[in-house]
């Protein structure tokens, strides 16, 4: 959970901190503020005026920046341009294609034969 000072941030606090913040080491999570790419967690901590050992983690900082409408990047890639997940229908079709008994319409005879094989394998020999 972010500290109280981090939770009380405003968009103006973050833009002001972006002007004060100078380059730092490369970060996985960054945000674009006034055309500059800045590390997300250090930016939020600077805006709140808390020390680097504050319990706010990077994911919380990213959520705060997203809530204020800043573009957030992960390893240089914009999260909003990430490919959409596979449609559920396409996933269902893939599962059916991988499972032999669902390639075509299910057959009652094939289902019954399969059940007999399974029961036969369970019987002690």
Q: Phi and psi of 108, rounded to 5°?
A: -65, -35
Q: CB count, 10 Å around CB of 37? A: 13
Q: Which residues of the chain have pLDDT under 70?
A: 1, 79-88, 96-106, 125
Q: Would you list the DSSP string of 71-101?
A: EEEETTEEGGGSPPPPPHHHHHHHHHHHSGG
Among 72, 60, 67, 91, which residue's Cα sits nearest to residue 29? 72
pTM of the model: 0.61
- Residues 36-56 have pLDDT tens digits of 899 999 999 999 999 989 999
Going from N- to C-terminal start, the domains of the chain cover 4-81, 88-122
Instruction: Identify the pLDDT of residue 113.
Output: 86
Among 25, 53, 50, 48, which residue's Cα sits nearest to residue 38? 25
- C-beta of residue 73 within 8 angstroms of C-beta of residue 29: yes
């Amino acid at each position: 959970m972010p500290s109280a000072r981090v939770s009380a941030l405003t968009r103006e606090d973050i833009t002001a901190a972006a002007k004060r913040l100078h380059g730092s080491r490369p970060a996985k999570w960054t945000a674009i503020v006034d055309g500059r790419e800045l590390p997300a967690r250090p930016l939020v901590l600077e805006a709140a005026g808390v020390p680097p050992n504050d319990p706010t983690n990077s994911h919380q900082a990213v959520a705060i920046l997203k809530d204020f409408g800043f573009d957030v990047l992960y390893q240089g890639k914009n999260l909003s341009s990430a490919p959409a997940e596979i449609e559920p229908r396409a996933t269902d079709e893939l599962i059916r294609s991988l499972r032999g008994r669902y390639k075509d319409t299910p057959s009652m005879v094939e289902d019954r034969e399969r059940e007999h094989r399974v029961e036969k394998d369970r019987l002690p020999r």
